[in-house]
Amino acid sequence: MSTRKPKTLKDFLQFVVSKVRRGETDSAGYTRFEIDGQFNGSMETAGVGWFWLLIGENGCLCTQVKSLNKQTGEAVLTCDQIEEPQVSGQSLAYLSSYWQAFNVWMVLDPNWGWEKVRFAGRDAIARDYEASEPSIVDGRPVKIWTELSPADASGHTTRHYPADNQASPPNPEPRLVTGGWGHEHCTLCNAHIDPGDFGYRGPDHRWMCERCYSRYVIPRDLAFVDEL
């Protein structure tokens, strides 16, 4: 039986940088830089939105296309940075904006600090608020929402649910909901990790399911960018 070779950063579409040019600096201290270079493969989606260029072992640039020759791959990209990116002459891996750069680094870094843990559920803090415009949820208009966040202030996300009472003004006072944070999501595949399930928790309190950990982290395989 053949063993599939893990996908590495070298297998990503690459942008080879030839020159970095400094533009204007805004009132917040960010400078617009233009980056000249060439993609080494097809870049049909480069003109749509933004994407990441990955640098070194844990760095990244958030870039957009200013101009692109789809026949030659030559392009001018822009990014807003405090300091000038020192990337001239480097080959930088392209990562779609569907992902975050940390998704790559958490798979590649052997010292990321994953810990196998049985998820037990956590208390949550709930706050109600009123949206500026109603949304249709399950066929009914919803304007009053409940925001949940972990009571221990760990984690990076909040969750938003339609409030039970849509007729009364929202109660903005925070309240404790015992066991209200009832599941986690795998940071790669978004699968539920429910109470009693084992998963892998990182030092930043992000979670990964057992399947994704075995499939991607153990072999240091970045194929999730194509498979998920």
C-alpha angle 62/68/72, rounded to 5°? Answer: 120
Beta strands in the chain (DSSP E): 14-25, 31-39, 50-55, 59-68, 74-81, 91-96, 115-118, 122-137, 140-150, 159-162, 175-181, 184-185, 192-193, 198-201, 207-209
Per-residue pLDDT averaged across 169-186, rounded?
A: 91
Answer yes or no: is pLDDT of 6 > 50.
Answer: yes
pLDDT in the model for residue 1: 45
Measured distance CA(88)–CA(140) in Å, rounded: 54
Average pLDDT rounded to a whole number, residues 143-148: 93
Percent of the chain predicted with pLDDT > 90 = 81
- Average the pLDDT over 55-61 and give the result: 95
Please provide the average confidence, as pLDDT, over all residues in the chain.
93
Fold of 12-98: Thrombin, subunit H (2.40.10)
pLDDT digits (tens, 9 = 90+) for 123-137: 999 999 999 999 999
The two structure tokens encoding residue 64: 């957009």
Predicted TM-score of the model (pTM): 0.86
**Structural domain boundaries in the chain:** 12-98, 115-217
| CB distance 78 to 34 below 8 Å | yes
User: For residues 62 and 42, what is the distance between their CA atoms, to the nearest angstrom?
Assistant: 19
Residue pair 204/156 in contact by the 8 Å Cβ criterion: yes
